[in-house]
Structures are given as structure tokens and as C-alpha cells.
Structure 1
Amino acid sequence: MSAMNAQMDLSDMIGAELPFLRRYARALTGSQRTGDNYAAATLEAILQDPSIFMRSMGPKTALFRAFHKIWATAGAPTADTEDTATRMESRALDHMAGLTNNTREALLLSTIEGFGFEDVGRIMDIDSGEAEELVSIAIAEMEKSMTGKVMIIEDEAIIAMDIHSIVSEMGHNVTGIARTRSAAADLGARDRPDLILADIQLADNSSGIDAVNDILGQFGNIPVIFITAFPERLLTGDKPEPAFLIPKPYSEEQVRSAVSQAMFFASTDTLKTA
């Protein structure tokens, strides 16, 4: 294979996984800007030294492993250390200081990105048993770190009730369930949420993105988790995107992890309609 063909092949493999790397980097750092900067730095490093992209692994595992090499070398930064404009609230920083090292990374890799413990270990350069233990520790620590009021915007009754059950079992108070944009605005006005879980497509063909932005227009920055069957369509890099995004069909572990992460950071970049 010629050098040009090899580079094209590498670009194709990376391109298919890049939206998911951006999602992970944003959730890990708590900022779209900071996360995207480190995703871009990873791509630059691979182009300069293709050997850090280990082709013997699957493309996604190899890309995430390369990211971790860059991110760890930079000192595992967060938005607070990189960009004052996206500084996390002080309570999030206080919680972060008490977390066991490497637990959030393992949790996100396992529950949000869907890696098995063996691949989590490969990415983080630890064994699979340690990866599993880190995930267990993370779940316990993150769920204890913060509770609050959660608003659900979802038009499918079964899904809405399932999310309600998961969130309630975590110790959060659900302010209500809205099926349309207008209902979401009314619910938000009556009871300001600490976190919003929102579907993208609602019952009256209105947009969950617009519903969220209506609420943010009233209250300012509130953590948001978007739920969609097509996450890759929202992670194009062309416009502001959500830091926290879970796919349909989702698992209970994905919801719990995303809720804990979003509440932990207490603020997040959200989608804006262009």
C-alpha cells in the first residue's frame, strides 16, 4: 500500500469514530471547546506519528488510546484549567478534588462509549480488572456527589417513565415530564430544574433543542443531556453541540453515568439552533 493510500485509509478509519471521540472529550473535560481542542490535538499527533494509532486494535479503541496519551501528557485538563470562559462552578471543582484517580475516565469509556473492560484497560494502559473496579468506584462516588431537580422532555410515555424511574432511584427529584416544546417551557417556568433530559423529536413535531433553549433563555446555563437515536447527526463539529449525549436505545448505566456527569459539572454547552 502506498503512503498516500495508507494515509487515506487511516483518515477513513478515524473519520468514522471522530464524532464519538469529541463526545467523550467534552464529557471528560466539561467543555465543548476544551474537549474539541484535545480531540484535534490527538488527530495532529496521529498525523505526525501514525504509530500511536495502533492498527492491531479496533479503530475506535486505537483512536481513544491515542487521545488518552495526549490528554494524560497534558495533565488531564478540564475546562477550568484551560478556559476561564467555560469555568466550571466551584461545587463541581470541589467534588472533582475528592474523586479517585481515573474513575471518571473509566466510567465514561464503559457506559457512554460502550467499551468492554478489556478495551477500557487498553485505552488507559491498565488491566481489565482494574478498569472494572474503577467503574464501580466511579458510580458510587459520582452518585453521592450531587442530587437535584431533573426535568424530562420526552414524548414516548414508556421511555419517559423509564427515565423517571432511573433518575428517581439515583436520589434526584423529577419536576415533571413534558411531551411538547410549549409544555416544556411551562414546566420550566413553574419549577426551575437543575438538570434537563431532553429528546430531540417531540410529539407535536417540535424540537427538543428549541424547548431546551427556551428554558435556558429564562434561566441561563443549566446542564442538559440530549437523547437521540442518531447521535452522529448532532456531532458534526459544524456548530455548538451538546457535551452530554446518549443514544437510543440506551442502557440504564448510560443514563446514570450521563446524569451523574452532567450534575457533577453543573454546567454544559448545549445545542443552539443556527
Structure 2
Amino acid sequence: MPKPEAVNNKHRRRFHHSIDEKDAERKERHELEDVQATIASLEKQLAGLQPQSEDAQRSQVAELEAEIAEQVVARERAEAELAKLEAAAKLVQEKEAELKEVQEELRSKEVELEDINGKIVILEGTLEHLRTRAAGEGENEHSAEGEFADRVERKASSPQPESQLDAMEEELSQVQARIEEERTKADELEKELCDVQAEIKGQKASTDSPPTSTPQPSVSSAFAAHSAFVAQRLLEIINESNMTVNTLREENMSLLMQIAGV
């Protein structure tokens, strides 16, 4: 039979072993409970964070959508502004082409006016020649030292050849007709120039106002200013021509009165 001491030692070892197992089991149980509590806490935190995350994502998505909408609006505005700039550039090119045509027309009118002035000078010389001839006919009727009133009186009292008077009157009529013709041309040209000048002013007003907010120098305004100056100069030439025509008419009337012996 085993000894009692040996049996007690055996039971003592078993008891200690059982206590150690229980302690280990209790420790493991506590650790498991801690892990489960940690998991439950994390799940609770996750459940609380999930709505916040969704709200943050939705807010971020809304901000991105708003930014995209702003970018789209800005792009549309930029495209519209670009279209305006292109239209303005095209309009300036068209106005420059129109102003060049107006300048060419003004040059043509200036040449035409110079031609009219040349014709008026020729007519003035013709009238001067006729007046000299009429004065020469009167000189044959009186002495060189007589007064003008005596010449007129003698010329009125002395008959002149009918054919000579008819020829002179016919020549004067032709000169007057040519003067009237040139006068009509000058009036028509003056009207055309007034129309051109009005068109230049309208083009200058439209091209000097840029359609964009950024101030830009107008190339067409320089052409318009130059064309306006040329048109003003042509009007001055027309006025001078009108004065010449009026002077010639007065001389014609005086010459006719001399021929008629008045």
C-alpha cells in the first residue's frame, strides 16, 4: 500500500494543478471578456462614425458638384466673351475695309473736283477773252481818252453788225450752259460727299466704342479721322468752286449788258 504521505503529496499536486488551471481559465475568461468589450466598443464607435462619414462624404460631394457647376458657368462665360471678342474683331475688320473703300471714293471725288476746278478756270479764261473782245469792239467806236459813260452812250447810239452780236451771244450762251453743267456736277458731288461724311461719322462712333470691358485702341478711328479731314477739305474746294461760278455768272451778266449796249 502506498504511504499516506505519498498520497497526500499526490492530492496536493492535483489540487495545485487544479487551482492553476482555474486561474488560467479565469484569466483567459477575463481576457476574452476584455476583447469582447473592446470589440463591442469599437463596433459602437464604428456605428457612430458611419453616419458622420456618410454626411461628410455627401457634403464633400455637394461641394464638388457646386465647384463643378461654377467651373461650367465660368467656362460658358469665357466662351461667350471669346465669341464677343471674335465678333468685335470681325466687325473692326469689316469697318476698316469699308473705310478703305470710303477713302478710295474720297480720292476719286477729289480728282473729280480738281477736274471741275480746271474746267471752271478754262471757262473763266474764255469769259475774260469774250469780255476783252467786247471791250475791243467798243474801243473802235470812240477815242482812247473818252470816259466809260461816253463809250457806253456812243456804243448804244451806234449800231453793230447783227451777225457779230448773234455770234457773241451764242458763244456766251454756250459758256453759260457749260457753267450750269459744271455747277450741277458740283452740287451732286457735294451731296455725295455729305453722305460719305455722315457715313464716316457713324462708323467712327461705332468703332471707337469697343464691345468688351477692356479698353482697346481703335484702328478704324484713325482712318475715320483722316477721311473726315479729306472730306472737309473737299467741301472747302466745293465752296471755292461755287464762289468762282457765282463770280463768272456776275461777269456774264455784265458782259451781256455791255454787248446789249446798256
Q: Same fold (TM over 0.5)?
A: no
Higher normalized contact order (CA 8 Å, seq sep 6+, divided by chain length):
2
Which of the pair has more CA radius of gyration?
Answer: 2
Which protein is richer in strand relative to its size? 1
Which structure is higher in helix share? 2
Instruction: Quickly name the TM-score band, shorter chain normalised.
Output: under 0.3
